[in-house]
Amino acid sequence: MTQAHEFDPQLLSEVAALPALPGVYRYFDAEGGVLYVGKARDLKKRVTSYFQKKHGGTRIGHMVTKIVRMETTVVRSEAEALLLENNLIKTLNPKYNILFRDDKSYPYLKLTAARAVEEGGAPSAAAYPRIAYYRGAVEKKHHYFGPYPSAWAVKDTILLLQKVFRLRTCEDTVFSNRTRPCLLYQIKRCSAPCVGHVSPEQYALDTANAERFLQGQTQEILTDLEQKMLAHADKLEFEQAAELRNQMSALSTVLHQQSMEIGGDKDVDILAVKVQGGKACVNLAMVRGGRHLGDRPYFPTHVENATDVAALDAELDAPADQAKEKSLEALILEAFIAQHYIDVPVPPTLVCSEPVDKDLIDALAEQTGSRVTAIHQPREQRRIWLEMAQKNAGLQLARLLAEQGSQQARTRALAEALELPLDNLDALRIECFDISHTAGESTQASCVVFKEHKMQNSEYRRYNIEGITPGDDYAAMRQVLTRRYTKLAEAARNPETKGEAKLPDLVLVDGGKGQVSMARSVFAELGLDLGLIAGVEKGEGRKVGLEELVFADGRDKVYLGRDSAALMLIAQIRDEAHRFAITGMRAKRAKVRVGGSKLEDIAGIGPKRRASLLQRFGGIRGIASASVEDIAMVDGISKDLAEGIYRALH
């Protein structure tokens, strides 16, 4: 009997009615969860193969038995199908697709646009572009270079540009209020346009050369500088010639330090994949403007589930005379390329550790409107880059496996110490609460979640605590626990929603008997199990490593031991709750102090001084951006008062 006989006739009739056109399909299970998202040149042929072929006990067969519903979308081309498929994979998180998650946006180097200003008067920030680290949505009027693999790579590039071209990095408010050069001018990292030490024409030339440097036109820059240096020397303008000579020397030093190959590749991505111990790592190294900027590791999920299904899709996509089984590494690398370059510009060259499907590269090229080449088994400099990326992929994967192994050991040690269930440690859920405030001001409670052997950032929550006596941590704990668990307790008591209630296996509160007693009263009122609650009590002398666990159900205290893996996990979770609470409290306090209060609230600031500050800096934001020295230059503001203003606004 074939698998097709097991399905709902309505589903099979939908499969039979599919068109022989390119498109994207989605499979759903009985709970409405997305099982798989795929693309096809021929929807009818592809989807039919799932329901007519015998897949035995493979993961494909296991997935197919769960399918109860299907959705399809017809598109005009395979490039459109590729884009839609991977957007849906990122959005829907299907169980049988290789999925790459990257919650962090890439940093860029931003070069602000120069704006024309009226002649005469003090130098204007508008006429002198600024270089800065940038992360976020781009504006067309400015120039952006990147993306860079890390913040460090951007900041290192900015430092190079300062050394060679001496472009400014200061905010416009700082620029507009300078009366003498800053320290960066003294150490030859800025040409001090703020006080007129460089002409707009010369600064514009330095800016243009910096752009060319970022685009990899280093040899052209050196040639131009040399010609101008010789021209100045012929005119006996030795001071100007010496400046150009120094700039050439600085640029040559930078090029030597970066081991750059002048005239070689300018924009290249190097992709290496490593699979080990059921886990995988794709290491992406970036070359931009001829400079190797560093690398960044990516760890996919659902690798084991997706292998068989992705292999079937690859087999059906390939022409009959080319059909052959792809390696797991190749499947992972192709999934990364397809998903990663949806949001990130594709460089003209990809150097890959595995052969990549030509159709995928063609679809990327069609999507971006520019030629893209994927190179396998490269030579010379590209081979060196790939070997470096492969080595780093192996190191990153080894680190991940070591960390996961130690984290799983910690989870097991804690479960054993507290006699928690050991049959499914992956599902063990721990929630931890902490209270933070400054002398009662801006009280916030934090709740962090530990599950699947790691902190689950997306499930963290902050709670603004109101209506209590300032500084009353017990009342704050009562409020946050009541707000957190009231609805969960109701859902747990309702037979229809009992399975949806995400009650934790352990609730940690940062505190001893007092906080545990408060948590006990809340849980008793809600009808929840008191055995879930544990307090982390400071040990003798409040020393780290001597903490004890206090329980709400009457059990004796437990001392886990200074070197206990269980204590390490407790400390990790508690410290994360403390960090999350403090950052929230500080943000709230800063918002109240800077956004909601007045300058008069600062001791020593009256109406006259407030008017002087606002007139000088244009508003509270300008004052907050100014340095202590800049604030002290305002009439009536002493150095001590300037320091007080700076502290209050920061």
pLDDT in tens, 481-496: 999 999 888 887 877 7
CATH number, residue 529: 3.30.420.340
> How far is 91 from 83, CA to CA, in rounded Å?
12
Decide if 15 is inside a domain: yes
Residue 435 CB contacts under 8 Å (≥ 6 apart), including other chains? 443, 444, 445, 465, 473, 476, 477, 480, 510, 581
DSSP secondary structure letter of residue 597: S
Secondary structure of 157-200 in HEC code, one letter for each residue: HHHHHHHHHCCECCCHHHHHCCCCCCHHHHCCCCCCHHHCCCCH
> Which pLDDT value is given to residue 400?
83
> How far is 46 from 51, CA to CA, in rounded Å?
10
Decide if 536 is inside a domain: yes
Decide if 22 is inside a domain: yes
CATH number, residue 610: 1.10.150.20
> How far is 223 from 508, CA to CA, in rounded Å?
66
pLDDT in tens, 510-530: 888 888 999 999 999 998 888
Q: Are residues 377 and 300 in the same domain?
A: yes
Range of the domain at 602: 597-649
Decide if 201 is inside a domain: no
CATH number, residue 14: 3.40.1440.10
Secondary structure of 46-110 in HEC code, one letter for each residue: HHHHHHHCCCCCCHHHHHHCCCCEEEEEECCCHHHHHHHHHHHHHHHCCCCCCECCCCCCCCEEE
Average pLDDT over residues 73-88: 84
Q: Are residues 469 and 520 in the same domain?
A: yes
Q: Are residues 489 and 357 in the same domain?
A: no
Q: Are residues 392 and 524 in the same domain?
A: no
Q: Are residues 457 and 481 in the same domain?
A: yes
Q: Which two tokens stand for residue 534?
A: 């544990």
Average pLDDT over residues 87-110: 82
> Where is average pLDDT lowest: 146-155, 229-238, 252-261, 617-626?
252-261
> How far is 642 from 636, CA to CA, in rounded Å?
10
Residue 581 pLDDT exceeds 80: yes
> Which pLDDT value is given to residue 591?
52
Q: Of the residues 50, 74, 92, which one is the last residue of a structural domain? A: 92
- 2 pLDDT band, cuts 50/70/90, is very low
Decide if 118 is inside a domain: no
> Which pLDDT value is given to residue 393?
92
Best mean pLDDT range from 248-262, 310-324, 532-546:
532-546
Q: Which of 282, 273, 347 is nearest to 101 (CA)?
A: 282
Residue 78 pLDDT exceeds 50: yes
Decide if 221 is inside a domain: no
Residue 589 pLDDT exceeds 60: no
Q: Which two tokens stand for residue 83?
A: 């884009």
Phi/psi zone of residue 453: left (φ > 0), alpha (ψ -120 to 50 degrees), beta?
left
> How far is 155 from 218, CA to CA, in rounded Å?
20
Q: Are residues 455 and 530 in the same domain?
A: yes
Decide if 157 is inside a domain: no
Residue 309 pLDDT exceeds 90: no
Say if residues 567 and 416 touch (Cβ distance below 8 Å).
no
Q: Which of 192, 77, 188 is nearest to 123 (CA)?
A: 192
Q: Which two tokens stand for residue 485?
A: 């668990």
> Where is average pLDDT lowest: 384-393, 412-421, 450-459?
412-421
Higher pLDDT, 117 or 406: 406
Decide if 248 is inside a domain: no
> Where is average pLDDT lowest: 43-57, 153-167, 349-363, 372-386?
43-57
Higher pLDDT, 62 or 349: 349
Query: What does pTM read for this prediction?
Result: 0.64
Best mean pLDDT range from 298-307, 397-406, 510-519, 614-623:
510-519
Residue 118 pLDDT exceeds 70: no
Average pLDDT over residues 52-69: 77
Q: Are residues 543 and 567 in the same domain?
A: yes
Residue 90 pLDDT exceeds 60: yes
CATH number, residue 380: 3.30.420
Q: Are residues 339 and 466 in the same domain?
A: no
Residue type, 198: V
Q: To 10 degrees, what angle do helices 238-257 and 151-165 make?
A: 160
> Which pLDDT value is given to residue 520?
92
Q: Are residues 542 and 618 in the same domain?
A: no
pLDDT in tens, 248-305: 776 666 554 444 444 456 789 999 999 887 789 999 998 887 778 888 899 988 787 6
The alpha-helical segments, DSSP class H, found in 215-350 are 218-234, 238-257, 303-317, 328-340
Residue 353 pLDDT exceeds 90: yes
* Coil vs helix vs strand at 59: helix
- 102 pLDDT band, cuts 50/70/90, is low
CA distance to 131, 295, 484, 629, per residue, from 190 (Å): 11, 29, 53, 19
Q: Are residues 306 and 379 in the same domain?
A: yes
Q: Of the residues 92, 122, 151, which one is the last residue of a structural domain? A: 92
Residue type, 199: S
The residue assigned the tokens 């798989």 is 36
Phi, psi of 442 (to 5 degrees): 55, 50
> How far is 207 from 212, CA to CA, in rounded Å?
9
Would the CA dihedral through 487, 493, 495, 501 be positive or negative? positive
> Which pLDDT value is given to residue 261?
43
Burial status of residue 332 (CB atoms within 10 A of its CB: 0-12, 13-18, 19 or more): buried
Higher pLDDT, 360 or 225: 360
- Edge to edge, the sheet with strand 108-111 lists 131-134, 108-111, 143-145
> Which pLDDT value is given to residue 257?
46
Domain count, the chain: 4
> How far is 61 from 54, CA to CA, in rounded Å?
8
Q: Are residues 281 and 326 in the same domain?
A: yes
Q: Are residues 637 and 570 in the same domain?
A: no
> Where is average pLDDT lowest: 109-118, 258-267, 376-385, 441-450?
258-267
Say if residues 580 and 463 touch (Cβ distance below 8 Å).
no
Q: Of the residues 552, 581, 610, which one is the last residue of a structural domain? A: 581
> How far is 175 from 569, CA to CA, in rounded Å?
48
Average pLDDT over residues 201-217: 84
Higher pLDDT, 624 or 431: 431
> Which pLDDT value is given to residue 545?
63
> Which pLDDT value is given to residue 189?
86
- 321 pLDDT band, cuts 50/70/90, is very low
Say if residues 103 and 142 touch (Cβ distance below 8 Å).
no
